[in-house]
Amino acid sequence: MTSTSRPLTAVILAAGLGTRMKSRLPKALHRLANRPMINHLIDTVQQVADDIVVVVGPDMPALEKAAHPHRSVVQTERLGTGHAARTAEPFFGEGDVIILNADNPLISSETLHNLLSARKNGAALAMLGMRPKDPARYGRVVEANGNVQRIVEYKDATDEERGIGLCNAGAFCASAQDLRVWLSQIDNKNAQNEYYLTDVVALAAQSRTVQCVVADEAELAGVNSRAELAQVEHSIQQRLRAAAMANGATLVAPETVFFSADTVIETDVTIEPNVFFGPGVTVRSDSIIRAFSHLENCTIGEAVSIGPYARIRPGTICEKGSHVGNFVELKNVTLGAGAKANHLTYLGDASIGAATNIGAGTITCNYDGVFKHRTTIGANGFIGSNAILVAPVNIGDEALIAAGSVITANVSDGAMAFGRARQTEKTERGRETMTALRKKKEQG
């Protein structure tokens, strides 16, 4: 929220299809750190603006949903950024308006505050600019005597203008009253026959002061292609890794760990190489996530060991001191305090009591082809290797399930359950069988 008495409305332009993305998905919905691009910008803008309006294209209900609870308005015809800004005009309010592009997800609240400061210090129009190493096809900012005179789009620029290093970053701030006037005066007499938002700069500069606030290229880079999306993902991951380490986590090989925007890593957590965090993961203090593990929508309690090569799926809670080992998959499981599932196991839709040991190769058969069913295992139990637990089934406290058993009925507290055929031995039958088989092989 703004600290001044003048309210601030933020308008985010998100109607673009992003043709260079080669995608049916609206550009603003492409994901960065497992969150739609536009939501990164909304989260930042919420820190400075009193109201947010998102301009979307026709038939973009998913984008409107992503913008919720903020207001969305539809640009029914894509006639340029100036036309998109006009679409939001009824919601400008009577204070200041800041206009941003949805494909600039890395912009920081500090930079937005710098832009607002330029407005407060006398600029009728404040804009963001940058000096990229390769200006490429960015619009160029033409200055004179320290003030901005106009912005020329790359397609309309002369060779001399293309040599200018200061480029437009696409964010503008002015009073709602002034913007309404300037937007009403722009036309589409240009190479693309579009209404350019950037034309408000020349209109403002005719009689007013226009200032350019320069920020870092890495923060203002836009996303217009899959390659640029990957570059921005790299930047976001660097930020998230640095934040995790600054907050007290150890990343053995930071460049190989991938976070989601909402990943929560507490102090004294160790993360080994090649770990992927999907959305909705919290890891509590003193836990270790070993190499090549994949986690999503789960909570890892204190002093828990995960992996290596573990997959922790949505709905799973690993309580304090529990262990999940190599090639173990958990889905919608509560693994009690001190419980262990250390080898080659699938547990789905299950509750495992405290200090229970799950043997190698154990499977909870939770799906009958139509419905999911739950398995409940009590505390201090032991599930032998290669046990198959056919849900719905309840296994009591301190129960022991013999290795290789198929369990289809409930097991009471303290009981030992066998669910396998009785072993029998046929004297000499093994040798006779092998001799017969070898003879058949010799005979072809």
CATH number, domain with residue 249: 2.160.10.10
Question: Would the annotation count 185 as a binding residue?
Answer: no
Please give the biggest Cα pair distance in the chain: 107
Same domain for 247 and 377:
yes
- Told to judge if 113 belongs to the known catalytic residues of this protein, a careful annotator would answer no
Same domain for 201 and 285:
no
Last residue of a domain, one of 189, 220, 251: 220
Tell me: pLDDT of 336 over 50.
yes
423 assigned to some structural domain: no
Same domain for 185 and 51:
yes
Question: Would the annotation count 14 as a binding residue?
Answer: yes
Residue closest to 229 by CA, chosen among 44, 27, 60: 27
303 assigned to some structural domain: yes
332 assigned to some structural domain: yes
CATH code for the domain of 187? 3.90.550.10
440 assigned to some structural domain: no
Same domain for 248 and 213:
no
Question: Would the annotation count 422 as a binding residue?
Answer: no
Tell me: pLDDT of 3 over 70.
no
Over residues 223-240, the pLDDT tens digits come to: 989 999 999 999 999 999
Question: Would the annotation count 104 as a binding residue?
Answer: no
Question: Would the annotation count 137 as a binding residue?
Answer: no
What one-letter code names the amino acid at 241?
R
Chain-centre distance of CA 245, in angstroms?
19
Question: Would the annotation count 133 as a binding residue?
Answer: no
Over residues 392-432, the pLDDT tens digits come to: 999 999 999 999 999 999 999 999 999 988 888 999 999 99
Indicate yes or no: pTM above 0.85.
yes
Question: Would the annotation count 224 as a binding residue?
Answer: yes
Residue closest to 404 by CA, chosen among 392, 427, 382, 420: 420
Name the active-site residue from 30, 40, 323, 343.
Answer: 343
What is the pLDDT at residue 5? 58
Domain count of the fold of the chain: 2
Q: What is the mean pLDDT of residues 118-130?
A: 94
Same domain for 319 and 184:
no
What is the pLDDT at residue 138? 86
Same domain for 248 and 212:
no
- Residues in Cβ contact with 377 at an 8 Å cutoff, skipping those fewer than 6 apart: 350, 351, 352, 353, 356, 358, 383, 389, 395, 399
Please tell me which residue, 256 or 153, carries the higher pLDDT value: 256
Query: By residue range, what is the domain housing residue 91?
Result: 8-220
